[in-house]
Amino acid sequence: MSRDEFLELLEETIDCEDELSFDMELEEIAEYDSIAVLSLMSMYDEMGVRVSPKDFENLKTVADLFTLAGESVE
């Protein structure tokens, strides 16, 4: 999965109305909340990446979400 594809999937998953970029702070994204984290956990699971709510505690940017996906993204 490319970086652009990841951003598109992320926007769909958290139902984000704005276009996301890798340098965006998660706290600045209105749709990023506890429900979004649950949706993201499901998204990562479908990608074959095992995550827990604790994995999201120290993430700051959209780039951090990409890094969390690990080898399933380019």
- Output the furthest CA–CA distance in the chain (Å, rounded): 28
Give this prediction's pTM: 0.92
Q: 9: part of which helix (H) or strand (E)?
A: helix 3-13
Measured over the CA atoms of residue 71, residue 26, residue 37 and residue 58, the dihedral's sign is positive
Tokens in use for 20?
Answer: 């996301």
Give 14-42 pLDDT, tens digit per residue.
999 999 999 999 999 999 999 999 999 99
Q: How confident is the model at residue 71 (pLDDT cuts 50, 70, 90)?
A: confident
Q: What is the pLDDT of residue 13?
A: 97
Domains of the chain with CATH codes: 3-72 (1.10.1200.10)
Answer with the residue of higher pLDDT: 73 or 50: 50
What pLDDT was estimated at residue 72? Answer: 82
Burial 39-74 (b: 16+ CB within 10 A, else e): bbbebbeebebebeeebbeebebbeebbebbeeebe
